[in-house]
């Protein structure tokens, strides 16, 4: 595998490899964050010094379907020992799709000192690197965050409706069976959470996992990514793009790829995604 710097990414600085993380395990300016779909993975063994950020318990409001607010984010950052100048490095399972989801939420609050460990848990484990069950405790910080910025990298249903009506690019990152309406969730999951299957009319089907190498979860080189998104789908870095999936986690992976690895100017993640769209009255659907 070519080094991260040699893969032609627009922002190679947002990725670090496993060796870099291994060399920074005891760096007080670095906070390693594990974020998984499988919530049992972290307690079963994690990178030494890593803290867990649970997508359901830590990033979401417990009542409203929304993310935590500014006070909640400040409390989270204080609890995991992150200051404004701390570099947060995310990794996780599923080729980092939940790591990029947490990364995306952190960007809603402007924590730009953030990176993703290329390959996630899979690559770390494949290389036989150390795992521990010891849960670290860091001194609490005093973290001041801005109000959550939903305007620039997040899309809401009404915005998606206007976007679709204007014929602007939409990327559906779900599986082909979900895109066609045959299924309402990924094949290996219970078919739940939505009344109608299908996709937003005009959306381009680019399953999120095409951007990753299946053997180790790393991101494909920029040339391969451009062949997928630009060669096959006709997207351009200047396009106004909205990505969506079922609840916004897989599409955060595609948002990360388009924004940081390919340097697209304006990409938003529609986190309401198909669970909102497929349950809404009066919205257009194609199968």
Taking the CA of residue 277 as centre, how many other CA atoms within 13 Å lie in the half-sphere pointing to its CB? 31
At 224 the pLDDT is: 98
At 207 the pLDDT is: 98
Q: What is the DSSP letter of 46?
A: B
Which pTM does this prediction carry?
A: 0.97
Cα distances from 25 to residues 8, 61, 92, 185, 215, in angstroms, run 27, 31, 16, 37, 25
Q: Distance of alpha carbon 173 from its chain centroid, rounded?
A: 12
The tokens for 9 are 């990414």
Considering the candidates 33, 212, 245, 258, report the single residue annotated as catalytic: 245
The widest CA-to-CA distance across the chain, in whole angstroms, is: 54
At 191 the pLDDT is: 65
pLDDT averaged over 10-residue windows placed end to end, the chain, 287 residues: 93 98 98 96 98 95 94 98 98 96 98 98 98 98 98 98 98 96 79 85 98 97 98 98 96 98 98 96 95
245 noted as active-site residue: yes
CB 80 within 8 A of CB 25: no
DSSP 96-118: GHHHHHHHHHHHHTT---EEEET
For residues 279 and 44, give the distance between their C-alpha atoms in angstroms, rounded to a whole number. 36
CB 178 within 8 A of CB 286: no
Domains and CATH numbers, the chain: 4-126 (3.40.250.10), 157-277 (3.40.250.10)
């Amino acid at each position: 595998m070519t080094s991260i710097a040699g893969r032609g990414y627009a922002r190679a600085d947002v990725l670090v490899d496993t060796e870099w993380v291994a060399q920074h395990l005891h760096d007080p300016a670095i906070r390693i964050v594990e974020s998984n779909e499988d919530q049992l993975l972290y307690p079963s063994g994690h990178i030494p010094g890593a803290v867990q950020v649970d997508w359901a318990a830590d990033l979401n409001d417990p009542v409203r379907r929304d993310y935590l607010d500014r006070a909640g984010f400040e409390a989270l950052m204080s609890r995991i020992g992150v200051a404004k100048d701390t570099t947060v490095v995310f990794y996780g399972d599923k080729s980092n799709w939940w790591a990029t989801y947490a990364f995306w939420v952190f960007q809603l609050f402007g924590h730009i000192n953030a990176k993703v460990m290329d390959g996630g848990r899979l690559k770390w484990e494949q290389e036989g690197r150390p795992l521990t069950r010891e849960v670290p405790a860091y001194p609490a910080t005093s973290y001041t965050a801005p109000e959550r910025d939903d305007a620039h990298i997040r899309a809401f249903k009404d915005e998606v409706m206007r976007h679709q009506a204007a014929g602007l690019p939409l990327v559906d990152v779900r599986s082909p069976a979900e895109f066609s309406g045959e299924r309402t969730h990924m094949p290996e999951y219970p078919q739940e959470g939505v009344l109608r299957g299908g996709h937003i009319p005009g959306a381009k089907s680019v399953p999120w996992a095409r951007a990753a190498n299946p053997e180790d979860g790393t991101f494909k080189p920029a040339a391969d990514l451009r062949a997928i998104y630009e060669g096959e789908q006709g997207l351009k870095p200047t396009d106004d793009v909205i990505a969506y999936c079922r609840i916004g986690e897989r599409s955060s992976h595609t948002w990360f790829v388009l924004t940081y690895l390919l340097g697209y100017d304006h990409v938003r993640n529609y986190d309401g995604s198909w669970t909102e769209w497929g349950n809404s009255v009066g919205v257009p659907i194609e199968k």
